[in-house]
Amino acid sequence: MISARGLRKSFGELEAVRGVDVEVRRGEAFGFLGPNGAGKSSTMRMIATVSPVSGGELRILGMDPATHGPVIRSRLGVCPQEDTLDNELNVFDNLYVYGRYFGIDKATVRERAEELLEFVQLVDKRHARVEDLSGGMKRRLTIARSLVNRPELLLLDEPTTGLDPQARHVLWDQLFRLKQAGVTLVITTHYMDEAEQLCDRLVVMDKGVIAAEGSPRQLIEQHATREVAELRFGIADDGNVHEQVAGKIEDLGRLEVLPDRILVYSPDGEEVIAKVHERGLEPIAVLVRRSTLEDVFLKLTGRTLVD
C-alpha cells in the first residue's frame, strides 16, 4: 500500500524527514510514533500527497504521488489532526458536501452518509450544527467523513488527541471494526496504549529518522525487559537520594534514575525488590509492572521535553 525508500522532506535548511524506509502492507494497522518534531506529520502529509517529496522514493497504492496525486487521493481517507469540518453546516451536509468532492453521485453519497452516521453513532445528531457537537462527536464525524469514498487506505493523524477516555474507547472500537473490514490504517499517535491497542506494526521516529520498527510486542522484547520495578526513596537533604541509591543497585538491571524514582528494568521485578531489601535499602514505595511501549518510546527518544 505504501512503499518509502530513503524518503526525505526539507523546509529550507530544516530537514524534517531524513531518509525513512517504510513498507505498509494491505489490511494492516501501521503506526508512526515519535515526539513532537520527529517528522511524523511531515511523513503523513507526503503520504497524503499534499506535501511534495524532497528526496527518496515514495509509492502510494503503487503510484507516484508527484504525478498521480488526485488518483491516489480518490482512494485515500484522511482524518487530520486539526478539525477541518465546516462549522456552518449540519452533520449530514458535512458528509454530503465532502462526498461530492470525490465525484460520487448525489443518491449514492446520501445513502453512504446515512450508513456512516449509523457507524459513528451520530444518527440522532443528523441535523445538528457541527459547532454544537462535543469534541468526541467531531472526531467521529471527521472519521465518518474520511470514509465517505470507501478508502482502501485510511490516514489518521492523532485521532484521539484531546478526547476523554469514553470517547477514545468508542473510536478505538470503530477503528478496530474498520481494520476487520480490511481497511489499511496508518496512525500517528502520542498515546502508547493506543498504539499497542491498534497497531500491528509501528515505527518509532526521532529527529527525522526511524529509531526502531516492529510489532508492539517485538519492540518491547527488543528494547525493554519483561518487567520494570519502580522504587521511590523519598527526599534527602544532601542531594538526590535516588542518585545515591542507584550506585548501590546498578548490578540489578538497566537503571533509569528520575527525580522522583528509580526504574529497574529486569526479567523479574519481584526479585529486584527482594535484593533491594537484602541490601538494607528501604524504599517508601515499590511497584512492579510489565514493560510497556511507553518504556520503549522513552528509551529510544529520551525524556527531554520537545516543544
Instruction: Give contact residues for another protein (rule: CB under 8 A).
Output: 11, 48, 50-52, 67-71, 73-74, 76, 78, 80, 82-89, 93, 96-98, 100-103, 146, 149
* Residue 114 or 271 having the CB closest to another protein: 114
How many CB atoms lie under 10 A from the CB of residue 304? 6
What's the number of CA atoms in the CB half-sphere (13 Å) around residue 299? 21
CB atoms within 10 A of CB 227: 19
Least distance between another protein and beta carbon 26 (Å):
20
CA distances from residue 54 to 8, 10, 19, 80 in whole angstroms, order as listed: 5, 6, 10, 22
- Pick between residue 72 and residue 178 the one whose CB is nearest to another protein: 72
Least distance to another protein, CB of residue 84, Å? 4
- Give the H or E element holding residue 73: helix 65-73
Q: Determine how β-strand 14-24 pairs with β-strand 201-206.
A: unpaired
Residue whose CB is less far from another protein, 11 or 306:
11
Between CA 206 and CA 222 the distance in angstroms is 17
Q: Give the whole-angstrom CA distance, residue 145 versus residue 141.
A: 6
Question: In terms of CB distance, is 11 or 267 closer to another protein?
Answer: 11
Query: How far apart are the C-alpha atoms of 222 and 227, rounded to whole Å?
Result: 13
Least distance between another protein and beta carbon 154 (Å): 11
Nearest distance from C-beta of residue 139 to another protein, angstroms: 15
Nearest distance, CB of residue 147 and another protein, angstroms:
12
Smallest separation, CB 78 to another protein (Å)? 4
**CB closer to another protein out of 25 and 106:** 106
| Grid cell for residue 232 | 521511590
Closer residue to another protein in complex, CB, 52/234: 52
Tell me how far, at minimum, the Cβ of 273 lies from another protein, in Å.
51
Nearer to another protein, 103 or 239 (CB): 103
Residue 72 Cβ vs another protein, minimum distance, rounded to whole Å: 9
Contact 146, 94 (CB under 8 A): no
Question: Cα separation of 254 and 91, whole Å?
Answer: 52
Nearer to another protein, 138 or 242 (CB): 138
Q: What are phi and psi of 196, to 5 degrees?
A: -65, -40
Handedness of CA 128, 78, 182, 65 (dihedral sign): positive
Residue 106 host element (H or E): helix 106-119
